[in-house]
Amino acid sequence: MPGVRVLITEDDDNLRVALEGALRGAGFAVDTAADLPSADEALFVNAYDCVVFDRMLPSGDSLRYVRERRAQGWPVPVLFLTARDTEADRVAGLRVGGGDYLVKPFAMAELVARVRNLCRLGWDGPPSVLRCADVELDPGRHRVTRGGVLLTLTRKEFLLLERLMSTPGTPVSKQELLSRGWDEMIDPRSNVLEVVIAALRRKLHEPLLIHTVRGFGYLISG
């Protein structure tokens, strides 16, 4: 991609050289950094179409760096590279404004394709705040308030509420909610979903917003 510039931030020398070679071979202009201070300096001096960050660097967690930059309105698309492949890690990377998340080991052709896609799409800004009645859910900041009061939710409670609030007034099946908060190994006969929904209702207080759709699932409306 002529004229497209990418910054690679990776502390492993061999991998950094390999990444640089793969992207240069695909036509990108490439700069590299081995730590966050060097990356920060490069980002101050130059304009980039995409930044590739190793998730864990000796100088700190790049996820935190990206979160802080996004809060300042920083618009550059980000691809995180990491050996951490749990769902929670992937979700965390995307929530702070990462455009993509690639787990090591990976094929260089896949990395090139993902970087090319990010450069083409850009970054659309933080996720929109979701609202239903007097409840507000901010996916980017991982905050939920009701009537302006901050609520403390568990990860599963947050994920389920986020799914319900993404389509207020529309029923969401139990199966979809289970897949949202748990992996595919969860027993569909388990009552874990009912337990979390009950906890959510208590934390949201009255009046009731989460309603049971008998024989199907739940919806939120107020």
What is residue 11's predicted lDDT score, i.e. its pLDDT?
92
Single residue among 103, 121, 139 that ends a domain in this structure: 121
Here the CATH number for the domain that contains residue 138 is 1.10.10.10
Q: Does residue 139 share a domain with residue 203?
A: yes
What is residue 1's predicted lDDT score, i.e. its pLDDT?
52
What is residue 88's predicted lDDT score, i.e. its pLDDT?
64
What is residue 136's predicted lDDT score, i.e. its pLDDT?
93
Here the CATH number for the domain that contains residue 60 is 3.40.50.2300
pLDDT in tens, the chain (222 residues): 556 889 999 999 999 999 999 999 999 999 999 999 999 989 888 888 899 999 888 888 888 888 888 777 778 889 988 876 666 666 666 666 667 888 888 889 989 988 988 887 655 555 568 889 999 998 766 789 999 999 999 888 988 998 898 888 888 888 878 876 665 455 656 788 899 999 999 999 999 999 999 989 999 997
Q: Does residue 188 share a domain with residue 94?
A: no
Domain of residue 25: give its range: 5-121
Q: Does residue 95 share a domain with residue 147?
A: no
User: Residue 23 burial by CB count (10 A; 0-12/13-18/19+): exposed, middle or buried?
Assistant: buried
Q: Does residue 135 share a domain with residue 115?
A: no
Q: Does residue 210 share a domain with residue 152?
A: yes
Q: Does residue 137 share a domain with residue 101?
A: no
Q: Does residue 50 share a domain with residue 136?
A: no
Q: Does residue 141 share a domain with residue 94?
A: no
Order of strands across the sheet that contains 210-213: 172-173, 217-220, 210-213
Q: Does residue 110 share a domain with residue 13?
A: yes
What is residue 2's predicted lDDT score, i.e. its pLDDT?
54
pTM metric for this prediction: 0.54
Single residue among 72, 101, 121 that ends a domain in this structure: 121
